[in-house]
Amino acid sequence: MLRRLATVCMVLILFSRAWAEAEERDYLQRGEEKLTAQYQITYDRAIRDVLSRGWRRDVVLRMVDIPPFRPEWIAGIARTADGYHASEVTASKHIWAVLDFDNPKKKKRDYRTVRPILHERPLSAPIAARVAALWAPCSPSRATTEKIPVST
């Protein structure tokens, strides 16, 4: 009995420590980050310009992915006159690499060669509602306030 109790306590201690360490390494962020450095502002503007489809007013859910060595992309759901559409917009090139912030001598940072690649499919209202329910806890913005009606 004492041996089982010691084993359970040890497992709980190891689990809680692993959980705490995992939280320290979590790089996911909710909402919009306040940008202060000029390179951050330039990069943010470039992403929003190239992937502008993800910030249109008809987008009810949005997830932005900014990977370190691949092109940036946005996935989301948009409400149109004929229902909902799932979309993905990917930059044709890695925007960070095109802006070349690693080269301090570079004066002009031009990203006009980067084009958006759009993939879009219609979604049924029940599937859109399910996705919204999954994303709502992660999004402090419109995903929690805008209701997608569920048809039965």
Written as six digits, the tokens of 23 are 């939280």
Q: Answer whether residue 75 is part of any domain.
A: yes
Structural element, H or E, at residue 28: none
Q: Answer whether residue 12 is part of any domain.
A: no
Q: Answer whether residue 30 is part of any domain.
A: no
Written as six digits, the tokens of 55 are 């910030």
Domains of the chain: total? 1
Q: Answer whether residue 68 is part of any domain.
A: yes
pLDDT digits (tens, 9 = 90+) for 29-64: 666 778 888 888 889 999 999 999 999 999 888 888
pLDDT digits (tens, 9 = 90+) for 110-136: 889 999 999 999 988 888 888 877 776
Compute the distance between CA of residue 21 and CA of residue 52 in angstroms, rounded to an integer.
36
Band (pLDDT 50/70/90 cuts) for residue 143 is very low
List the domain range (segments joined by +) for residue 132. 35-145
Q: Answer whether residue 1 is part of any domain.
A: no
Comparing CA positions, the residue from 37, 45, 48 lying closest to residue 109 is: 45
Q: Answer whether residue 8 is part of any domain.
A: no
Q: Answer whether residue 20 is part of any domain.
A: no
